[in-house]
Structure 1
Amino acid sequence: MEKVKLKLLYSELRPELDKIEKELEVAVGSNSLLLNEASLHLLQAGGKRIRPVFVLLAGKFGDYNVDVMKQVAVPLELIHMASLVHDDVIDDSEMRRGQTTVKAQWNNSVAMYTGDFILARALEYITVIEDPKIHDILSKTMIEVCRGEIIQIEDKYKLDQTVRDYLRRIKRKTALLISSSCELGATVSGTDAETAARLRRFGYFIGMSFQITDDILDFTSSDEELGKPAGSDFIQGNITLPVLFARKDPLIYGRLKEAVGKDMTDSERKEIVELIRTSPALEEAKSLSDQYLNKALKELMLLPKGNANKTMRNIALFIGKRKF
């Protein structure tokens, strides 16, 4: 239901998004039946398509042409998809968006090569753009996303990491790809440098808010709403902001230390989730998410007014308050 509400906010982009969706289907197509099935399995699991949406909206601040926008929207979404497949292997995840992951449906090898294939397709798609600045932005983004993945592996099960460590990680894992979506949409549509920079900062701030909200929902949502067990991040060793804030309570910290990295029963998992859920940590995390959201909205206030600006504002507000 929440996903439907979000899509209504950018319903005017539906024709362009349908075109991008068809292009994504073409992009993940392969002569290999196995690769084709695995790639389509991931694509058809759906998603909010936030990155293509921000490419399109940022492009409306300049000389908008959907066929040009498509050339960066498709590879950006492919990079995101590839990172999800690889994530599921690293985290040993069985479910995503209520469906089995590629690694669960097939195996780790198929998942890794599917991710590599989708990433290669992204690189192939971007070659049609001649502007070296576009390639520079995209290549640096990909490098940082990979660094974020490595940092996440290094930080696994570390209850003593700092909030700064967490923010550094989600910046690379989530915020930069959204930030680049906005910057690339602005750049390919020929906006001035100041507008592109403001859109880049907007994307970064909303990306940070988006991920913090995601990490809060991992504790506040039900298993059914998440499409996976609540508290999955903690089970997989990913120490998120709610846990970092909750550990300030000595009793909670002691229980977290006992549980982290251990095989938990379902009742133990629910106990950890309830500990976080009833602590002040979620409100603290929400407060930080709201700070990033407000910074994003301030950037929009300094951008030209119009439908694109209004839609970006509505999406930003929805992302910061969402319940899915």
Structure 2
Amino acid sequence: MEKVKLKLLYSDLRPELEMIEKELEVAVGSNSLLLNEASLHLLQAGGKRIRPVFVLLAGKFGNYRADVMKQVAVPLELIHMASLVHDDVIDDSEMRRGQTTVKAQWNNSVAMYTGDFILARALEYITVIEDSKIHDILSTTMIEVCRGEIIQIEDKYKLDQTIRDYLRRIKRKTALLISSSCELGATVSGTDAETAARLRRFGYFIGMSFQITDDILDFTSSDEELGKPAGSDFIQGNITLPVLLARQDPKIYSHLRNAVGKEMSDGERMEIVKMIRNSSALQQAKAISEQYLDKALKELDHLPKGPANKTMRKIAMFIGKRKF
């Protein structure tokens, strides 16, 4: 239901998004039956397509051409998809968006090569773009996303990491792709440098808010709403902001210390979830998310008014306060 509400906010972009969806299907197509099935399994699991949406909306601030927007929207979404497949292998995730992951449906090897294949398709796709600046932005984005994945592995099960460590990680894990989506949409549509910079910052701030909200929902939502077990991040060793804030309570810290990295029953998992829910950590995390959201909205205040600005504002508000 929440995803439907979000899509209504950018329903005027439906023709372009349908075009991008068809292009994604073509892009992940392969002569290998196994690769084809695995790639389509991931694609058909759906998603909010936030990154293509922001490419399109940012393009509205310049000389908007849907066919040109598509050239950067598709590879960005492919990069995102590839990172999800690899993430699920690293985290040993069985479920994503209520469906089995590629690694669960097949195995780790198939998942890793599927992710590599989708990433290669993204590289192939951007060869049609002649502007070297676009290539610079995309290549830097891919490098930083990979660095973020490595940092996530290094930080696994580290209960004593700092909040700065966490923010550095989610910048690369989530915020950078959304930031690049906005910057690329602005760049390919020929906006001025200041507009592109403001859109890039907007994307960064909303990306940070988006991920923090995701990490809050991992504790506040039910298994059914998440499409995976609540508290999955902690079980998989990903120490998120709610946990970092909750550990300030010595009793909670002691409990978390004894649980981190160990096999847990559903009852033990829900005990951790309940402990975080009953602490002040979720409200503190929400306040930090809202600070990023406010910064994102302030960037929009300095951009030309119009339908694109209005829709971006609505999406930002929805993302920062969503319940899915």
Equivalent in the alignment of 2:230? 230
Counterparts of 1:141 and 1:192 in 2: how far apart (Å)?
A: 21
Q: C-alpha separation between the residues in 2 aligned to 1:241 and 1:259? A: 17
1:137 maps to: 137
What is residue 240 of structure 2 aligned with on the other side?
A: 240
1:118: which partner in 2? 118
* Moved segments of 4+, more than 4 Å: none
Q: Given the two structures, how large is their TM-score scaled by the length of structure 2?
A: 1.00
**1:204 is matched by which residue type in structure 2?**
Y
AA matched with 1:166: Y
How far apart, CA to CA, are the structure 2 residues paired with 1:121 and 1:150? 22
Where in structure 2 are the equivalents of 1:1-324 lying within 5 Å?
1-324=1-324
For residues 22-77 of structure 1, give each alpha carbon's deviation from its aligned partner in whole angstroms, at most 9, with x where no partner exists. 00000000000000000000000000000000000000000000000000000000
Q: Distance in 2 between matches of 1:46 and 1:280?
A: 34
Q: Match for 2:31: what amino acid?
A: N
AA aligned to 1:323 is K
Aligned-partner Cα distance in 1 for 2:265–2:198: 47
1:313 is displaced (CA, Å) by 0.1
In structure 1, what residue type is equivalent to 2:112? Answer: M
Identity of paired residues, percent?
A: 89
CA positional deviation for 1:306:
0.3
- Which amino acid is 1:169 matched to? R
Once residues 126 and 175 of structure 2 are traced to their aligned partners in structure 1, the CA distance between those partners, rounded to angstroms, is 21
C-alpha deviation, 1:103, in angstroms: 0.1
Deviations 1:95-150 (A, max 9, x none): 00000000000000000000000000000111100000000000000000000000
Counterpart of 2:218, as a letter, is D
Q: Match for 2:161: what amino acid?
A: Q
Rounded Cα–Cα distance in structure 2 between residues aligned with 1:13 and 1:222: 31
The separation in 2 between residues aligned to 1:159 and 1:103, in whole angstroms, is: 27
SS at match of 2:237: coil
Letter in 1 for 2:96: R
In structure 2, what is the Cα distance between the partners aligned to 1:144 and 1:284?
28
- What runs of 5+ residues in structure 2 fail to find an aligned partner? none
Deviations 1:261-298, CA, capped at 9 Å, x for gaps: 00001100000000001100000000000000000000
Distance 1:165 1:261 in 2: 19
* Two-structure CA RMSD over aligned residues (Å): 0.2
> Any idea what SS the aligned residue of 2:166 has?
helix
**In structure 2, C-alpha distance between the alignment counterparts of 1:68 and 1:62, rounded to whole Å:** 12
Shift of 1:234: 0.1
**CA distance in structure 1 between the aligned counterparts of 2:258 and 2:273, rounded to whole angstroms:** 14
SS at match of 1:55: helix
**For residue 9 of structure 1, what is the amino acid of its counterpart?**
L
Task: Please state how far the C-alpha of 1:236 moved relative to its aligned partner.
Answer: 0.1
User: Matches of 1:33 and 1:277 in 2, distance apart?
Assistant: 45
Tell me the distance in 2 between the aligned counterparts of 1:129 and 1:141. 16
Work out the CA distance in 2 between the residues paired with 1:33 and 1:313: 42
2 CA distance for matches of 1:28 and 1:138?
Answer: 19
The C-alpha deviation readout for 1:232-258, integer Å capped at 9, x for no partner, is 000000000000000000000000000
Q: Secondary structure at the match of 1:248?
A: coil
Distance 2:201 2:109 in 1: 37
Q: CA deviation at 1:202?
A: 0.1
| SS of aligned partner of 1:127 | helix
